[in-house]
Amino acid sequence: MMKPEIQKAPPHDFREVLQKSPFHARVDEKSLVKSWTSWNGYQTARVYDTLASEYFAIRSSCSVMDLTPMEKYRISGPDAVDFLNRLVTRDVSKLKPHRVTYVAWCNDDGRVLDDGTIFHLNEGDYRLCSQHHQLDWLLMSSLGMDVTIEEETHEVAALSVQGPTAFSVLTAAGISGLDVLKAFGIMHTQLNGFDVMVSRTGFTGDLGYELWVEPTQALPLWDAIFSVQQRGLYDVRPIGLDALEMVRIEAGFIMPGDDFNTAETAIRAGHDRSPFEVGLGWVVSFDKPHFTGKKALLKEQGEPIKRRLVKLRVEGNKPPADAFLYDAKKGRRIGEIKTSIWSPVLKANLTMADIEYRKGQAPREIWAEIFYQKELGWHATWAKCEVSEQPFWNHPRRSATPPDSF
């Protein structure tokens, strides 16, 4: 099928430091604290009103987040699937149309450049979403292949609608057919006369959808969803990046650039990471044609693993942000905590931590030395840590089809 022409967004006015998303009028209206940050150059809310209410919207009702700043690339042409399969470590040749898959990609040395998702929009027409800007790497990787790569970050507006009532809210907003949409599925539909693409994807470990429209339809989409709240049917709240950070750690999703240095930004030897070291061994497939980094990864696979990014639960209630990790109380230093949150649902300190392995062996014990403040006085304490192989939060709702309506 021919890929539709992408209408280029007008150039960003350089006098505005941060670019405004097509949802900005509504985002600004809903933002009570005006806590802005930059996400890929877009003016993005960290918090709208209070972090707790936004967090609980994700975990117990329905949340809406502006996803537009996420890097998006359209990939098409006769060699599109071969291109993608050589780019990423996972075998994506069998990804069916209207399906989504999680992928990571490496440089020649088998070091992770970024992770993301591939959307098989229609036969032979793909969208790659990534954390960081990847256009140069994609173009470089396309040498000798008949493939078209276009950035469409600014040409596609997207909302993430997540939470236990997300299905009910979207159905009430007028989107039908969601009852048969499976996890990682894509559906092309209409809402109030405009085209909407819905994917059952998200970053929360729970039921959720992502909705993709042309920028001109951004506000009508937002209004249709929030009309459900205005009609008094379900609570719907906008959420910022801070609440997302909490739920993504609960769900065990890693953030390249936060949890580990990406290969592109690593300057010193040893400061980059392989997929095995960040727990992405499960997306490395050697049983497929050549991909960038394959030779290096095959070699690494035969050697004892040197370190792992792990999901680490830290005992107690003292915040373990930036703590060093030891193999015993006052023992040998073996790692550090990269990102951490207090999980209100699980009542625990949850973290992503980088741990050294000795001779390929995980440390038997892990202890965090936590520095914390009490009335401006500093104190130190030790907390035992426990590695979790499973995500801290992975609700069966995430994949139940049809989803329960609450």
Partner 1 sequence: MTNTMDKSVVVVGGGHNGLVCATYLAKAGYKVQVLEARDEIGGGASTTSFAQGYKVSGLAHILHSLNPKVCKDLALEQAGLERGVAIETIALARDGQHLTLGKDSATGGSLSSEDIAAYTQFKKEFRRYAEALKPMMMTKPPRLKGMDHKDKFTLAKIGWKLRFGLGTDSMREFFRVGGINIYDVLNEEFDNPHLKGAMAVDAVMGLHMGPRTPTTVLTYLHRLWGETDAGQSLPSGGMGQVANALSTAASNAGVSIRTGAKVQRIRVENGKAVGVELATGEQIDASMVISNADAKSTFLDLVGTRELDAMFAHRIHKSRTKGTVAKLHLALNGLPQIEGLSAAQLGQRLLIADDLQYVEHAFNHAKYGEYSDKPVLEITIPSISDSSFAPQGHHVMSISASFVPYALKGGWEGQREALVKNIIALIEQYAPGFSAQVLASELLTPVDIEEQYHIAGGHWHHGELAIDQMFMMRPIHGTAQYDTPIDGLFLCGACAHPGGGVTGVPGHNAAQRIIAMGAGKK
For binding to partner 1 (CB under 8 A), which residues are involved?
82, 86-87, 107-108, 137, 140-141, 143-145, 289-290, 292-295
Structure-token match 């001779």, residue found: 359
Q: Which is nearer to partner 1, 130 or 292 (CB)?
A: 292
Q: Min. distance of Cβ 282 from partner 1 in angstroms? A: 22
HSE-up (13 A, CA, CB side) for residue 107? 13
Q: Which is nearer to partner 1, 86 or 98 (CB)?
A: 86
Q: Which is nearer to partner 1, 290 or 347 (CB)?
A: 290
Which 8-state DSSP code applies to residue 283? G
Q: Min. distance of Cβ 290 from partner 1 in angstroms? A: 5
CA dist 114 → 88, 135, 311 (Å): 10, 12, 19
Q: Min. distance of Cβ 165 from partner 1 in angstroms? A: 43
Q: Which is nearer to partner 1, 137 or 222 (CB)?
A: 137
Of 14, 12, 33, the C-alpha closest to 22 is 12
Q: Which is nearer to partner 1, 269 or 376 (CB)?
A: 269
- Between CA 275 and CA 89 the distance in angstroms is 9
- Between CA 3 and CA 15 the distance in angstroms is 34
Of 208, 296, 239, the C-alpha closest to 23 is 239
Q: Min. distance of Cβ 279 from partner 1 in angstroms? A: 23
Q: Which is nearer to partner 1, 145 or 345 (CB)?
A: 145
- Between CA 70 and CA 17 the distance in angstroms is 18
The SS3 of residue 271 is coil
CA dist 87 → 3, 105, 107, 150, 294 (Å): 21, 6, 9, 16, 10
Identity (one letter) of the amino acid at 29? E
